[in-house]
């Protein structure tokens, strides 16, 4: 008797911003779980696209399908920061962060949903942040984008729940990546009840669970990976 078909046998996982930090750890973990994994980045990924550009995203998804198969797991991890107090934040800084971190996730989600609907199975995980729920001075644009991801997560979850497509979010706290090393970690680490920064692999483990068949009834949820910082 042949073994039962796995979702991994029908499609691939796509990780945006998958070249470093949390994204690279997620890509490695999903590959270890048996997924064919593609990474998307503005440069250096398996496919290149600026997630702010819907046409470029559409073309990138076509390339992924041709090379790896239809996207059945999507991890929206691509993100940028451009910090500054709201009073002095430029329009360009606001737009660049919102367009990449939130609108980019929408563009990718919209493309992924068509292949997931065809397969009647899919997993979407949005990488938000603890600042979505507690804010952080100097990060009005980043916090707004990450909070918007939580609203997007819950809406997609409700729209797709009957199709065996789930959409969840993780809210990492202070994680040891290049992005948090740029001044954020020093200000927050002393307040982390766990007494340390987190590792990208710890975030990846949470995301891998949300991408698994076992997480079929976890939908529209926000999973904190923050050492109790948000508790």
Residue 165 structural domain: 7-225
pLDDT at 3: 66
Residues 78 and 68: their CA atoms lie apart, in Å, by 20
pLDDT at 189: 78
Establish if 231 belongs to a structural domain: no
Residue 184 inside a domain? The answer is: yes
14 within a domain of the structure (yes/no): yes
CB neighbours of residue 158 within 10 Å: 12
37, containing H or E segment: strand 37-41
pLDDT in tens, the chain (231 residues): 666 789 999 999 999 999 999 999 999 999 999 999 999 999 989 999 999 999 999 999 999 999 999 999 999 999 999 999 999 999 999 999 999 999 999 999 999 999 999 999 999 999 999 999 998 999 999 999 999 999 999 999 999 999 999 999 999 999 998 766 555 556 667 889 999 999 999 999 999 999 999 999 999 999 999 999 999
* Contact status, residue 40 vs residue 77, Cβ threshold 8 Å: no
Q: Please report the pLDDT score of residue 191 as a whole number.
A: 87
- What per-residue confidence (pLDDT) applies to 178? 79
Q: Residue 29 belongs to a domain with what CATH number?
A: 3.40.50.720
Burial 18-57 (b: 16+ CB within 10 A, else e): bbebbbbbbbbbbeebebbbbbbbbeebbbebbbbbbebb
In a domain, 230, yes or no: no
Residue 221 inside a domain? The answer is yes
- pTM score, whole prediction: 0.95
**Residues with a known catalytic role:** 142
Give the per-residue pLDDT at 60.
98
Task: Tell me if 149 sits within 8 A of 126, measured CB to CB.
Answer: yes
Residue 10: C-alpha distances to residues 6, 114, 125, 173 (Å):
7, 14, 19, 33
Closest CA to 196 of 224, 229, 222: 229
The tally of domains found in the chain comes to 1
């Amino acid at each position: 008797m042949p073994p039962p078909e796995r979702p991994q046998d029908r499609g691939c996982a796509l990780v945006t911003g998958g070249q470093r930090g949390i994204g690279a750890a997620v890509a490695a973990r999903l590959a270890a779980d048996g997924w064919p994994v593609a990474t998307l980045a503005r440069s250096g990924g398996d496919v290149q696209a600026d997630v702010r550009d819907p046409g470029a995203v559409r073309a990138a998804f076509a390339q992924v399908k041709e090379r790896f198969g239809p996207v059945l797991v999507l991890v929206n991890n691509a993100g940028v920061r451009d910090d500054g107090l709201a009073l002095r934040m430029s329009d360009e800084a606001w737009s660049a962060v919102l367009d990449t971190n939130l609108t980019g996730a929408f563009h990718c989600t919209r493309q992924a949903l068509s292949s997931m609907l065809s397969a009647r199975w899919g997993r979407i995980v949005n990488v938000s942040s603890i600042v979505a729920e507690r804010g952080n001075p100097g990060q009005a644009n980043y916090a707004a984008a990450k909070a918007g991801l939580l609203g997007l997560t819950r809406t997609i979850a409700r729209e797709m729940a009957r199709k065996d497509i789930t959409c969840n979010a993780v809210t990492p706290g202070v994680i040891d990546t290049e992005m948090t090393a740029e001044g954020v970690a020093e200000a927050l680490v002393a307040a982390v009840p766990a007494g340390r920064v987190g590792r990208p692999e710890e975030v990846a483990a949470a995301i891998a669970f949300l991408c698994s068949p076992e997480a079929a009834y976890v939908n529209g949820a926000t999973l904190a990976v923050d050492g109790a910082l948000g508790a």
